[in-house]
Structure 1
Amino acid sequence: MTKEKISVIGLGFVGLSVAVVNAMKGFHTLGIDIDDVKIKNLQQGKVSFFEPKLEKSLKSVLSSKKIEFSNDFMKILDSDITFLTVGTPPKKSGDVDLSSIKSALSKISKVLESKEKYHLLVVKSTLSPETTNKLIIPKFEKQISLNKMDVVVNPEFLQEGVAINDILDPHIIVIGGYNKKGIKFLIKYYKNFYKKLPEIIQVGVTTAELIKYANNSFLATKISFINSIANICQKLPDVDVDSISYAIGKDNRIGPLFLQAGPGFGGSCLPKDLSGLISFSKKIGNPSPFFEAVENVNASQPKQIFTIMKNMEILSPKKTISILGLSFKKNTDDIRESVSIKIVRKCLNYGLKIKVHDSMAITNFKKIFNDNIEYCESIDSCLENSDCCIILTDSDEYKKLKLHNFSNMNKKNIIDTRRILNHKNFKNTNFYALGLGQFK
């Protein structure tokens, strides 16, 4: 069976992952981006962000000549399917910024005007409901009416840290479209892609857009829920939120995923999509106090850390705070909407001296805080002469820490926001963990 030729517009986390995995699967793949520096680096096998297996896989498909990168949109003409994966960052209002989408659509539509062979545009960018109907489809109405192309919405559900696995083994494939030809064409592509076809759900375009928003907003809800429970646990002696998470997660109606209490969720997806759903709900005259509450719980969660710091009597100028973990989750260098940024900013407002450590995210953190904080290459140097250590990510290197690793601190004040350390081994320290009642 002849495999389709693929083009991918927008080579961020989603786009590059999609492009590389398609090439791994034997599809001739073209990756397009307007960033010339990014294109040059990708041509040399260099990825500007960390994602496990991605750079190694990129170098492999470059060697096999299954993938090429360009800033020339005209090369779309050589492909059968174009995946639109352009970023849709949030505005301060919570609305989605569509400026990059609009720019890409203008270029794509001009190119496809000259194409005679059928073409399928697959929208993977996260869009608020009705955007495809009101913005994207009208751009291609002439080609669609001539039966020369179709537009379908095919949302992605990729998690940073396991993106390649998520593409290779998705829990479901959602296809939103109106024309049977476009839907059948995409299903044919997926039959070429997978040996065993995953479950496919066919819906309307707007339903597909809303599925993505609903998916991420529900995950955000689970996190805010368990964080609310964790805050109760912290006030009660001998109560452990992890035991509660485990117990309720065994209920099939609930499930164990995203029930790990912590300092709050971050990243490029959950905060943005939750905010987008709140904004969209208001626009259609149906404001949602429920989703607003989920957002408010997340925004207030870092306050739990400062309450503990206040009890430790270390919120005074010139005290030194060590922060272990800067990315919004382990196994990534992504600091977008990371709790670490909020913590550091507030600590600086208190006049505290800040030392940070993260094996992956230091470079990105420097872009925000410059020389206002100290960046440490090792955990030992980060903890040296510190008055308090705050663990913000559950990275494996932090899970291995023992009591002796904190011996060079001025005072052993430790705040474990992820409960990765065994509290029984820290009885002789001023040890606190979010969601863990004091076991004294």
Structure 2
Amino acid sequence: MKISVIGAGYVGLVTATALASKGHNVVLIEKDKAKISSINKGKAPIAEDGLDDKLSDCLKHNCLRAVENYQEMLGTDVTLVCVGTPSNPDGSIDLSYIKQSAREIGKMLGKKTERHTVVIRSTVIPGTTRGVIIPALEEYSGHKLHDAFDVAVNPEFLQEGSALRCYFNPDRIIIGEDDKGAGDTVEKLYEGISAPIIRTDIPTAEMVKYASNAFLATKISFINEIGNLCQKLGIDVYEVAKGISFDYRIGDRFLNAGLGFGGSCLPKDLGALVQASRGLGYHARLLESVMEVNRLQVLKIIQAVEQKLGDLKNKKISILGLAFKPNTDDVRSAPALRVIEMLINKGAMVKAYDPMAMPNARAVLPEGIEYCRSAEEAVRGGDCVLVLTEWAEFKNESLYRGEIVFDGRRVVDPRNAKTFCDYQGICW
């Protein structure tokens, strides 16, 4: 199949590469010329396991190329929209990128003679595809839906650090359709992939993505709330989590108590859903509480450090981990960044190390932070160590020997830690 993918961000690049690796002819349309150049050289502009190799193989077989011009869409049968939907300052969804894409796609649809399918992979609030995207496509193409083009929604559930594995081994495939032909086209994209396929209407498919992320965020804030209580009772919350995980209704995923959630999806999508609820006159109390628990969780590590060291002015704080999770360079809404900003505001001197995320962190954090070449260098000479991302290399106990350690991710086994360092967990 001839496919165009709009947006070479995380979702777009992984999706385009995965489809090209299955033999489809894919053109990736992106405005950022630096990204285009990097992709066409076989170098992914994001850190993702196996992506560079897969991308290089696709380029070698001439089944993927990155371009700037939407005109390239004319030679394709299907367009997948993968542009970002970031947050406005109030937490509501920013649809500016998707509106712009819809306008440009619409213009191209007006020039086509063959029927075309537009698939929305971007995360959008329920009602957006029917209420915003389809009207824009109709206005700028001069055609009505189903006359010259069809639209479907296919939300993505990729997990950073293992996105290609997630693409080829999904838990489920959700297809939102108002036309069976559009749904059939999307389903063909997944030929050879074994997973339950749920075909539903468009608003339901949009809502499935938000409900999924809201539930995962809720599990994290729940176990952190339990962890905070357990710490006051002298109970190990990880033992509690293990005990409840054997209940098949609960499971063992997303029960790692600690600093809370970050990244490009959970905070953004939860905020958008809360704001959309307010717009409908509904007060989503549970979701607001999930966000508030997550906001407060980061404060716990600052409070613990102050209780131990006193005034933080001119204290040297060693930070291990900047990315919101291991095996990625993504620092969007990473708890580590909030911790560092609070430390700096209190007059502390910060030195930091992360195996992948330092360039991205440097671009958004204030000046004056010392970025180190290794974990050993970051720890050396600090008044205390804060472990904020659970990278495998941070499990090395020799890093912490004789140090004051505040562990936000249960990287160090607390049962052993107190034999070689002054150790404190965040909610255990």
Query: Fold match, TM over 0.5?
Result: yes
Provide the residue aligned with 1:85 in structure 2: 82
**Deviation string, structure 1 residues 417-437 (Cα, Å, up to 9, x no partner):** 11121222423532101222x
**Gap regions ≥5 residues in structure 1:** none
Query: Does residue 33 in structure 1 map to residue 30 in structure 2?
Result: yes
- Three-state SS of the structure 2 residue aligned to 1:228 is helix
The equivalent position to 2:114 in structure 1, one of 111, 114, 117, is 117
Quick check: 92-101 or 144-153, which moved more? 144-153
Provide the residue aligned with 2:400 in structure 1: 406
Letter in 2 for 1:137: I
For 1:13 and 1:41, how far apart are their aligned partners in 2?
A: 14
Provide the residue aligned with 2:427 in structure 1: 435
For 1:359 and 1:428, how far apart are their aligned partners in 2?
A: 24
For 1:25 and 1:387, how far apart are their aligned partners in 2?
A: 52
- Three-state SS of the structure 2 residue aligned to 1:23 is helix
Query: Does residue 205 in structure 1 map to residue 202 in structure 2?
Result: yes
Q: Is the 8 A contact 1:176 1:204 kept in 2?
A: yes
For 2:302 and 2:211, how far apart are their aligned partners in 1?
A: 32
Q: Is the 8 A contact 2:35 2:45 kept in 1?
A: yes
For 2:227 and 2:20, how far apart are their aligned partners in 1?
A: 44
**Deviation string, structure 1 residues 375-428 (Cα, Å, up to 9, x no partner):** 1111121111111100011110001233xx335xxx721111111212224235
Provide the residue aligned with 1:348 in structure 2: 344
Provide the residue aligned with 2:92 in structure 1: 95
For 2:310 and 2:56, how far apart are their aligned partners in 1?
A: 48
Letter in 2 for 1:374: E
Query: Does residue 217 in structure 1 map to residue 214 in structure 2?
Result: yes
**1:67 offset after TM fit, Å?**
0.6
**1:150 offset after TM fit, Å?**
0.4
Provide the residue aligned with 2:381 in structure 1: 385
Task: Note closer, same or farther for the CA distance 1:428–1:175 as it changes in structure 2 (3 Å cut).
Answer: closer
Q: Is the 8 A contact 2:19 2:189 kept in 1?
A: no
Provide the residue aligned with 2:188 in structure 1: 188
For 2:170 and 2:425, how far apart are their aligned partners in 1?
A: 34
Letter in 2 for 1:148: A
- Three-state SS of the structure 2 residue aligned to 1:47 is coil
The equivalent position to 2:257 in structure 1, one of 252, 261, 271, is 261
**Gap regions ≥5 residues in structure 2:** none
The equivalent position to 2:278 in structure 1, one of 254, 275, 282, is 282
**1:56 offset after TM fit, Å?**
1.4
**Deviation string, structure 1 residues 270-301 (Cα, Å, up to 9, x no partner):** 00000011000000111211100000000000
The equivalent position to 2:45 in structure 1, one of 48, 51, 56, is 48
Task: Note closer, same or farther for the CA distance 1:86–1:145 as it changes in structure 2 (3 Å cut).
Answer: closer
- Three-state SS of the structure 1 residue aligned to 2:377 is helix
Letter in 2 for 1:111: M
Letter in 1 for 2:109: L
Q: Is the 8 A contact 1:314 1:387 kept in 2?
A: no
Provide the residue aligned with 1:229 in structure 2: 226
Task: Note closer, same or farther for the CA distance 1:117–1:227 as it changes in structure 2 (3 Å cut).
Answer: same
Letter in 2 for 1:378: S
Letter in 1 for 2:24: F
TM normalised by structure 2 equals: 0.96
**Deviation string, structure 1 residues 196-217 (Cα, Å, up to 9, x no partner):** 4x21111111111111110000
Q: Percent identity?
A: 38
**1:340 offset after TM fit, Å?**
0.9
TM normalised by structure 1 equals: 0.94
Letter in 2 for 1:431: Y
For 1:339 and 1:355, how far apart are their aligned partners in 2?
A: 16
Letter in 1 for 2:370: E
**1:190 offset after TM fit, Å?**
2.5
Provide the residue aligned with 1:241 in structure 2: 237
Q: Is the 8 A contact 1:176 1:203 kept in 2?
A: yes
Q: Is the 8 A contact 2:102 2:137 kept in 1?
A: no
Quick check: 393-402 or 264-273, which moved more? 393-402
Provide the residue aligned with 2:105 in structure 1: 108
Alignment RMSD (CA, Å): 1.4
Quick check: 413-422 or 257-266, which moved more? 413-422
Q: Is the 8 A contact 1:10 1:86 kept in 2?
A: yes
- Three-state SS of the structure 2 residue aligned to 1:171 is coil
Q: How does 1:417-428 map to 2 (within 5 A)?
A: 417-423=408-414, 424-427=416-419
